[in-house]
Amino acid sequence: MSDKVQYDIAIIGGGIVGAATFYKIQEAYPNLTILLIEKENKLADHQTGNNSGVIHSGLYYAPGSKKAENCVNGRHELVAFAQKYNVAHDVCGKVVVATKESELPVMDKIYQNGIANNTEGIEMISAKQVKDIEPHVDGIGGIWVPCTGIIDYRGATEKMVDVALGIQSKSKLMLGTEAKDISHHDGYSEVKTSKGDFTAKKLIFCGGLQADRLAKKDGIKLKEKVVGFRGDYYELTEEAKHKVKNLIYPVPNPDFPFLGVHFTRMTDGEIECGPNAVFSFKREGYGKTDFSLRDTASALTYGGTWKMFFQNMSFGIDEYRRAFSKKLFLKTLQGLIPSLTMDDIKPGRSGVRALLLSEDGDTRDDFKIEYGDNSIHVLNAPSPAATAALAIGGDILKMAKKHFNL
């Protein structure tokens, strides 16, 4: 057996799902020693730290799905956590706005989803009520969602880890530490990293954009593949910020696997507009021209990627055109706020979403967590995973209790 320090559990991945899992397990089992490994030099540096910062309500997700259940439960937990530990947040509410008659049936379906998912306080509102909430928006009706909010997800992630480390002094966070390989031995596993080898009795993988690759390192046979989609944001200039009070969303197109471009007031006071959704030629590439031969080849030699492209061809072309055209991006934004001008918006940041694509091009929309012999793998945690993180962490805690005989 290895003579290295052995941990009870090693968690690979320091985004908010990994942090929430660390926090939940450490809180439930304060005597366990847990190692959290993150390959970047700070926590929440990919999907968590580059998302829209929204605390989602549970409005969009199919009743009975893990997405719906975990979003609602996780939202309550996240807000309570933020209040307890002074994480910057604001439950400010949002409006979902219909701008044309053809969107009304979809809006009604979303509203019924919200009712079924116990999204508290939602109500259908008139065009006048939309104007009362967001004076610069033009719409024919909408949904008021008072329980939606905004939060500093990086701050929340860091606080979860801080609290967990405060429970057990022998637990540890390793930053700038990339998991290179996994080997299993009698009674323990060894994680070979860029900063040496670590041993643990059990492993939990929360690898996000690298989830499928980590699963293969652990011997998991996985047919699906992670494909990255970049989302670009614009920001409102200081002179235009008065045109958005809180959060404004369009009625999403049910044929497109994303929610559409929206307006979000962030916790630092900035107003973001976006994101679009375009295929990323690098899984962790945030620039429009970022490229990785390995990531591109992985995605473009996979049949599921092409099937998704063909299923969403017209949307994809429009998204790419907008990615390189401020004028076209503005035109989309003007669908909600017609008074916006080119001078009102400036380029902002980007984020990359991980989609676990099946071989038939399906986006594997619900959360997907599977067991290995000695491990648990979070294989798919798309939006609203950040909102739902504490609920997902709670689910993993239950799975670990059973699978790991804690």
Residue 288 lies in a domain: yes
Does pLDDT of 3 surpass 60?
no
Structurally, how many domains does the chain consist of? 2
Q: Which residue has tokens 């939006």?
A: 383
51/363 Cα distance (integer angstroms): 18
Residue 210: pLDDT band (50, 70, 90) is very high
Q: Across the strands, what pairs with 184? A: 189
pLDDT recorded at residue 353: 93
168-202 per-position pLDDT tens digit: 999 999 999 999 999 999 999 999 999 999 999 99
Q: Dihedral sign, CA of 93, 98, 104, 106?
A: negative
What are the distances in angstroms from CA 205 to CA 214, 310, 402? Answer: 7, 32, 17
Residue 311 lies in a domain: yes
What are the distances in angstroms from CA 406 to CA 85, 214, 238, 328? Answer: 28, 24, 53, 54
156/78 Cα distance (integer angstroms): 8
pLDDT recorded at residue 12: 98
Does pLDDT of 245 surpass 90?
yes
Cβ within 8 Å of residue 220, ≥6 positions away: 370, 372, 377
CA quadruple 297, 298, 301, 304: dihedral, nearest 10: -140
Do 160 and 284 lie in one domain? The reply is: no
Does pLDDT of 221 surpass 60?
yes
Residue 141 lies in a domain: no
pLDDT recorded at residue 323: 84
Do 196 and 322 lie in one domain? The reply is: no
Do 379 and 329 lie in one domain? The reply is: no
Q: Whole-prediction pTM value?
A: 0.95
Q: Among 264, 260, 286, which Cα is nearest to 275's?
A: 260
Do 215 and 232 lie in one domain? The reply is: no
- State the amino acid at position 158 in one-letter form: E
Q: Summarize the confidence of residues 239-247 as an average pLDDT.
A: 97
Residue 269 lies in a domain: no
pLDDT recorded at residue 364: 66
The HSE-up count of residue 378 (CA atoms within 13 Å, CB side) is: 30
313/60 Cα distance (integer angstroms): 23
86-141 per-position pLDDT tens digit: 999 999 999 999 999 999 999 999 999 999 999 999 999 999 999 999 999 999 99
Do 196 and 327 lie in one domain? The reply is: no
Q: In the chain, pLDDT over 90 holds for what percent of residues? A: 87
289-341 per-position pLDDT tens digit: 999 999 999 999 999 999 989 988 877 888 888 888 999 999 999 999 999 99
Do 305 and 167 lie in one domain? The reply is: no
267-281 per-position pLDDT tens digit: 999 999 999 889 999
Whole domain around residue 391: which residue ranges?
6-48+154-224+366-403
Q: Among 291, 300, 209, which Cα is nearest to 14's?
A: 209
20/80 Cα distance (integer angstroms): 14
Q: Which residue has tokens 């091009």?
A: 361
Do 231 and 169 lie in one domain? The reply is: no
Contact 221, 251 (CB under 8 A): no
**Residue 206 — φ and ψ, nearest 5°?**
-130, 65
* Burial readout 290-320 (b: 16 or more C-beta within 10 A, e: otherwise): bebeebbebbeebebbebbeeebeebbebbe
Residue 323 lies in a domain: yes
207/212 Cα distance (integer angstroms): 8
Do 232 and 337 lie in one domain? The reply is: yes
57/146 Cα distance (integer angstroms): 9
Residue 109 lies in a domain: no
State in Å, rounded, how far the first CA of the chain is from the last one. Answer: 21
Does pLDDT of 67 surpass 60?
yes
Contact 314, 272 (CB under 8 A): no
Residue 2: pLDDT band (50, 70, 90) is very low
Contact 272, 264 (CB under 8 A): yes
Residue 280 lies in a domain: yes
Residue 246: pLDDT band (50, 70, 90) is very high
Do 353 and 372 lie in one domain? The reply is: no
State the CATH number of the domain containing residue 198: 3.50.50.60
Residue 17 lies in a domain: yes
Do 322 and 287 lie in one domain? The reply is: yes
Q: Summarize the confidence of residues 334-356 as an average pLDDT.
A: 96
Residue 257: pLDDT band (50, 70, 90) is low
Do 295 and 313 lie in one domain? The reply is: yes
Do 229 and 327 lie in one domain? The reply is: yes
Residue 253: pLDDT band (50, 70, 90) is confident
